Structure 1
Amino acid sequence: MLLLIAIMAATTTLTLGLVLRDAASDPYETTRAATNGPDAVAYAADLSRLQQLATASGVTAHSGPYPVTSEKLQASGRTSDVQVIGRDTAEVAVDQPAVTKGSWVSGGGAVLEAAFADSLDVGVGDTVTLGGGSFEVVGVAVTAASPPYPGTSCFVTVGCIHGAIPQDQNLPTELLHNPGLVWLTQADVRSLATDPNSLSYVMNLKLADPADAQAFVDSYGGDGFVQSWQSIRSDATDLAKDSQILLLIGAWLLGLLAVASLAVLVGGRMADQTRRVGLLKAIGGTPGLVAAVLLAEYVLVALVAAAAGLAIGALTAPLLTESSAGLVGSAGTASLTGSTIVVVTAVALGVAVVATAVPAMRAARSSTVSALADAARPPRRTGWLISASRQMPVPLMLALRVAARRPRRVALGVASIAVTVSGIYILLVLNTFLSSQTQTGGYTEDQVQTLRHVLLVWTVILLSLAAVNAIVITWATVLDNRHASALTRALGATPREVSTALAIAQVLPALVGAILGIFPAGWILLAGINAITGADSDNAALPALWQLPALALATVLVVAALTAVPARLGGRRAVTETLKAELA
Structure 2
Amino acid sequence: MGRILLVCRLAVRDLRRRRVEAALLLLAIMAATTTLTLGLVLRDAAGDPYQSTREATSGPDVVAGAGRAAGLSGLEELAGAPGVAGHSRPYPVAPATLQTSGRTSDVQAVGRDAAPAPIDQPKVVQGGWVRDGGVVVEAAFADALGVRAGDQVTLDGRRFEVTGVAVTAAMPPYPGSSCVVATGCVNGVVPDGRTLPEEMLRNPGLVWLTQADVRSLAPDPGSLSYVMNLKLTDPGQAQAFADANQGGALFVQSWQGILEDATELARDSQILLLIGAWLLGLLAVASLSVLVGSRMADQTRRVGLLKAVGGTPGLVAAVLLAEYVLVALVAAAAGLAVGTLAAPSLTESSAGLVGGAGTPPMTVSTAGLVTAVALGVAVVATVVPAVRAARSSTVDALADAPRPPRRVGWLIAVSARLPVPLLLASRVAARRPRRVVLGVVSIAVTVSGIYVLLVLNAFLGSQPLTGGYDDAQVEVLRHVLLVWTVILLSLAAVNAVVITWATVLDNRHSSALARALGATPREVSAALAAAQVLPALAGAALGVFPGGFALFAAINAITGGDSDRVTLPSLWQLLAVVLATVLVVAALTSVPAHLGARRPVTETL
Q: Which residue of 2 aligns with 1:111?
A: 136
Output the amino acid matched with 2:42: L
The CA distance in 2 between the partners of 1:11 and 1:320, in whole Å, is 16
Return the offset for 1:457.
1.8
Displacement of 1:249 in angstroms is 0.6
Q: Which residue pairs with 2:324 in the alignment?
A: 298
Q: Assess, with a 3 A threshold, how the Cα gap between structure 1 residues 458 and 566 changes in structure 2: closer, same or farther.
A: same
- 2:434 aligned to which of 383, 387, 408: 408
1:48 matches 2:73? yes
- 1:54 and 1:512 map into 2 onto residues whose CA distance is 65
State the partner residue of 2:173: 148
CA distance in 1, matches of 2:563, 2:246: 32
Q: How far does residue 472 in structure 1 lie from its aligned partner after superposition?
A: 0.9
Q: Deviations over 1:293-347 (max 9, x none)?
A: 3223222322332233233323333333321111122236433333323322222
**Counterpart of 1:371?**
397
Any conservation in 2 of the 1:69–1:193 contact (CA below 8 Å)?
Answer: yes
Question: Deviations 1:122-161 (Å, cap 9, x if unpaired)?
Answer: 3334443433434333322211111100116747506689
SS in 1 for 2:65: strand
Cα shift at 1:407: 1.6
**1:66, 1:201 within 8 Å by CA — same for their partners in 2?**
yes
1:276 counterpart residue number: 302
Residues 332, 498 of structure 1: alpha-carbon distance in 2 compared, 3 angstrom cutoff: closer
Deviations 1:449-495 (A, max 9, x none): 11111222222111111111111111111222222222222332222
2:305 counterpart SS class: helix
Q: Percent identity?
A: 76
> Which residue in 1 is equivalent to 2:118?
93
| Structure 1 CA distance for aligned equivalents of residues 105 and 358 of structure 2 | 33
Matches within 5 A, 1:137-536: 137-151=162-176, 154=179, 156-157=181-182, 175-221=200-246, 223=248, 224-282=250-308, 287-331=313-357, 333-381=359-407, 385-436=411-462, 438=464, 440=466, 442-536=468-562
Say what the alpha-carbon RMSD is for the aligned residues.
Answer: 2.7
> For the residues of structure 2 that align with 1:32 and 1:342, how far apart are their CA atoms?
30
Look up the SS of the partner of 1:145 in the other structure.
Answer: coil
2:52 aligned partner: 30
Query: How has the CA–CA distance of structure 1 residues 518 and 382 changed in structure 2, closer, same or farther, with 3 Å as cutoff?
Result: closer
**Deviation digits for residues 251-295 of structure 1 (CA, Å, limit 9, x no counterpart):** 100100000000000000110122233334445655455434322
Asked whether the equivalents of residues 175 and 187 of structure 2 are also in contact (C-alpha less than 8 Å), the reply is no
Listed one character per residue, the Cα deviations across residues 478-525 of structure 1 (whole Å, up to 9, x for unaligned) are 222222222222332222222222211111111111111111111111
Query: Do the aligned partners of 1:110 and 1:135 also contact (CA within 8 Å) in 2?
Result: yes
CA–CA separation in structure 1 for the residues paired with 2:536 and 2:510: 23
Aligned 8 A contact 1:266 1:359 in 2? yes
The 3 A distance-change label for structure 1 pair 538 and 285 is farther
Question: Are 2:93 and 1:71 equivalent residues in the alignment?
Answer: no
Higher mean displacement: 200-209 or 109-118: 200-209
Structure 1 residue 439: Cα displacement: 5.2
47-56 vs 525-534, which moves further: 47-56
Give the drift of 1:53. 3.1
* Worse-superposed segment, 252-261 or 488-497: 488-497
Displacement of 1:220 after TM fit?
Answer: 4.4
Secondary structure class of the residue paired with 2:63: strand
Q: Is the 8 A contact 1:23 1:318 kept in 2?
A: no
Instruction: After superposition, give the CA deviation of every residue in 1:516-562 in whole Å (9 maximum; x if it has no partner).
Output: 11111111111222222222345444234422111111111211221
Q: For residue 591 of structure 2, what is the amino acid of its counterpart?
A: V
Of residues 543-552 and 265-274 in structure 1, the stretch that sits farther from structure 2 once superposed is 543-552
1: CA distance between counterparts of 2:499 and 2:168? Answer: 55
Are the counterparts in 1 of residues 303 and 316 from structure 2 also a CA contact under 8 Å? yes
Aligned residue for 1:543? Answer: 569
Partner SS for 2:166: strand
Q: Distance in 2 between matches of 1:513 and 1:332?
A: 36
Where does residue 11 of structure 2 map in the other structure?
Answer: none
Cα gap change, 1:94/1:439 in structure 2, threshold over 3 Å: closer, same or farther? closer
Structure 1 residue 22 displacement after superposition: 1.6
In structure 2, the residue matched to 1:21 is: 43
Structure 2 residue aligned with 1:582: none
Asked whether the 8 Å contact 1:21–1:237 carries over to 2, the reply is no
Deviations along 1:54-81, one digit per CA (max 9) or x if unpaired, are 3444444433311112233333434333
The whole-number CA distance in structure 2 between the counterparts of 1:160 and 1:186 is 22
Which residue identity does 2:173 align to in structure 1?
P
TM-score, normalised by the number of residues in structure 2:
0.87
Paired with 2:112 and 2:185, the residues of 1 have a C-alpha distance of 17
Pair 1:4-2:26 in alignment = yes
Contact 2:183/2:199 (8 A) holds in 1: no
Structure 2 distance, partners of 1:411, 1:259, is 13
The aligned amino acid for 1:365 is R
Q: Secondary structure of the equivalent of 1:99? A: strand
Code of the aligned partner of 1:11: T
Q: What is the distance in 2 between the residues matched to 1:156 and 1:546?
A: 47
Q: Distance in 1 between matches of 2:200 and 2:537?
A: 49
Gaps of 5+ in 1: 164-171, 580-584
CA distance in 2, matches of 1:226, 1:237: 19
Report the Cα distance in structure 2 between the residues aligned to 1:474 and 1:358, rounded to whole angstroms.
21
CA distance in 2, matches of 1:441, 1:253: 25
Q: Distance in 2 between matches of 1:152 and 1:553?
A: 45
CA 1:384–1:267: 2 relative to 1, 3 Å: closer
The alpha carbon displacement at 1:398 in A equals: 1.9
1:123 and 2:148 aligned: yes
- The SS at the match of 1:90 is coil
**Aligned equivalents of 1:235, 1:39: Cα separation in 2:** 15
How many Å apart are 1:91 and its aligned residue? 2.6
Write the distance in 2 (CA, Å) between the matches of 1:234 and 1:387: 63
Cα contact 1:99–1:141 (8 A) shared by 2: yes
Distance 2:374 2:472 in 1: 34
